[in-house]
Structure 1
Amino acid sequence: MSGIKALVGLSFSGAVGLTFLLLGCALQQYGVYWPMFVLFFYILSPVPGIIAVRLSESHGDSSSNSFKELAYFFTTGIVVSAFGLPIVLARNSTIAWGACGLVMTGNIVIFLTIFGFFAVFGSGDELSWDEF
């Protein structure tokens, strides 16, 4: 039952993060949809970690897992790019600074949601995605 509660909580926080992103795009004083390109970063951020877990399982465990370290590096680059895109757009006067703030708030909430999902369902101990 706690898995259902965690999933509902993560869904709610994801909806809140996407609401901030949409507010940064669709409010009348902003009205520019360029920040929606941040959605690509949301989709790409878990991919290196998933690939590294699969590769490390097939190659066995070692004391220093280079696959996971490389995945952390690529994931960090993706997350930093997601925070950098609205700043670059705001500095170029493509979007307003208020829209940049809303998109940054949405980024924080969405990336914490993604991290929370993998923290709750990625451990594989007592609570896993296979239960659903």
Structure 2
Amino acid sequence: CAVAALVALSFSGAIGLTFLMLGCALEYYGVYWPLFVLIFYFICPIPHFIAKRVGDDSDAASSACRELAYFFTTGIVVSAFGLPIILARVEAIKWGACGLVLAGNAVIFLTILGFFLVFGRGDDFSWEQW
């Protein structure tokens, strides 16, 4: 089950990155400014990791540390969707490239969410195995 989930998540991640690359590398678009959203992909899970490490181990439905991590993660995700729109508004990229990057963002962030839903909920799970 875990292997099939990992293969599916890898496939969806590749699809998302393909959308991002198409938005940059197609001859009609030809600008690589949208690649800056890769920064958001890498920093998106960091608040969750910090909250998991720092937060208390109680089984409470909510904690201030976890809620702050959700807030920062939401800001990162919204920024990743906003950057291509801003770039298209100032005509640094074309609107078609913006659409491809937004589609790639949706797929990548759903892949990241799927990873945490599949592999992050178990009690016997440790991050050291990755």
Q: TM-score range by the shorter chain?
A: over 0.9
1:68-88 CA distance string (max 9 Å, x none): 000000000000000000000
Aligned to 1:84: 82
Structure 1 unaligned blocks of 5 or more:
none
Aligned to 2:12: 13
1:29-67 CA distance string (max 9 Å, x none): 0000000000000000000011101111xx342744100
1:77-114 CA distance string (max 9 Å, x none): 00000000000000000000000000000000000000
Q: Residue 61 in 1 paired to residue 58 in 2?
A: yes
Between the aligned partners of 2:12 and 2:105, the Cα distance in structure 1 is 11
Between the aligned partners of 2:2 and 2:126, the Cα distance in structure 1 is 8
Identify if the C-alpha distance between structure 1 residues 7 and 76 changes in structure 2 by more than 3 Å, giving closer, same or farther: same
Question: Is the Cα contact below 8 Å between 1:121 and 1:128 reproduced in 2?
Answer: no
Structure 1 runs (4+) greater than 6 angstroms displaced: 126-132
Q: Report sequence identity in percent.
A: 65
Identify if the C-alpha distance between structure 1 residues 106 and 85 changes in structure 2 by more than 3 Å, giving closer, same or farther: same
Superposed CA RMSD: 1.8
Aligned to 2:118: 120
Question: Is the Cα contact below 8 Å between 1:24 and 1:103 reproduced in 2?
Answer: yes
Aligned to 1:32: 31
Aligned residue pair count: 129
Between the aligned partners of 2:111 and 2:84, the Cα distance in structure 1 is 20
TM-score by length of structure 1 reads 0.91
Question: Is the Cα contact below 8 Å between 1:17 and 1:107 reproduced in 2?
Answer: yes
